A and B are shown apart, each in its own frame.
Chain A
Amino acid sequence: MLKKSLDTLRAQFPAQPAEAHCDGPCGVYDPASIRIAAEAAVSMTKKMLAMTPPDASNSEAMAAYLNTMSRYAAIKEEQAHLAKSELLVLWTDYFKPPHLEAYPNLHDTFWKAAKACSSVKVEVSAQHAAELMEAVQEIHTIFWATKGRDIAWYTAS
C-alpha cells in the first residue's frame, strides 16, 4: 500500500538525479602509460647489453661507442623514472581501499614494480628488466579486472 502510494508520488513528481559522490578532475587512468615507459627502459637495457666495444686504439670508433652508450643510458634513466611516476599516480590516485580488499597483494605488487623501475634505472640487468615487465603486466591485469573489462596484455616491441 505504502509502496503503491510512493510509486504514484514518484510518477507524478519525477525527481532529478544528484551526485552523492563526485569524482576527481578527469578520472582517465590506463596502465598503458606505465607499460610504454617501462618498455622503453627495458629496450635500452637490451641495447646496452648487446653493444660490443670497439678497439680502444680507434678513438673515433670509441667516441661513437661511448656516445651511443651514454644516450642509451640517459634514455633508460629517464624512461624508468617516468614509469615509476606513472605507477605512483595509478597506485595512489586510482586504487581505493575496496580494491585492496579484492586484491590483497595490490600494495606489494606496486611496491615490487616501483622497485623494479629503480633497478632498471640504476643497473643494466636483463633479469630486472624482465621482472619489471612482469610486474607491469600484473598491474595491467588487476587494473582492468577492477574496471570489469577484459583487455588483453600486449607490448609495442
Chain B
Amino acid sequence: MRPVLAPDDEVLIDPRALLAAGDLVLARHPFRAGTRIIKRLSAWTEEGSAQLEGLNPDYSTDSRSFGAVPKDHLLGKVVCRF
C-alpha cells in the first residue's frame, strides 16, 4: 500500500464509519482465516460486496484475484496513520 502506508505503520480504525468508494478499509481476507488486510475500497458491487484494490496493481493481490469481499468481512475504515 505504498506510498500511503509503509511496513510497521500504525493506523487507527473506525469500526463504525460508513464506508465509501475511495476509503482505505480493514477487511478479513476472504480465503485466509486470521489474515486481515488493508486495501482501498474501489467500488461497491450491485450485490453489496466490496471491490478491494491495492495501490500498486503490479504487486497487489486484491479483488482482481480473490473477488469482491462480502460486506460482513469489512472491519472498519482507516481514519488516520500515526
- A residues sitting closer than 8 Å to B (CB atoms) are 6, 10, 15-24, 96-97
Q: What would be 25 A-B contacts, judged by CB atoms less than 8 Å apart?
A: A10-B10, A15-B10, A16-B36, A17-B36, A18-B36, A18-B37, A19-B35, A19-B36, A20-B5, A20-B7, A20-B9, A20-B37, A20-B39, A21-B1, A21-B56, A21-B59, A21-B60, A22-B29, A22-B32, A22-B61, A23-B61, A24-B61, A24-B65, A96-B58, A96-B59
- At the interface, is chain B mostly helix, strand, loop or mixed? loop
Q: Check B58–A19 contact: CB distance below 8 A.
A: no
When A and B form their complex, what is the total count of cross-chain residue pairs whose Cβ atoms lie within 8 Å? 40
Looking at the complex, which one of B38, B56, B65, B82 makes contact with A18 (CB distance below 8 Å)? B38
Whether the pair B35, A22 counts as a contact (CB closer than 8 A) is yes
Range class of the B interface residue count: 20 to 34
* Beta-carbon nearest neighbor of B62 in chain A: A22
Residues from chain A with a CB closer than 8 A to the CB of B60 are 21-22
Within the complex, what minimum Cβ distance (angstroms) separates B8 from chain A? 9
Query: Contact: A21 with B36, CB < 8 Å?
Result: no
Whole-angstrom distance between the Cβ of A4 and the nearest chain B Cβ: 13
A19-B28 Cα distance, complex, nearest whole Å = 10
Top 8 nearest A-B pairs (CB, nearest first) are: A20-B1, A18-B36, A20-B38, A20-B5, A19-B37, A22-B61, A22-B37, A18-B38
Q: A6-B82, A21-B60, A22-B37 are in contact. List 14 more A-B contacts (CB 8 A).
A: A15-B10, A17-B36, A18-B37, A18-B38, A19-B29, A19-B36, A20-B38, A21-B54, A22-B29, A22-B32, A22-B60, A22-B61, A23-B61, A24-B61
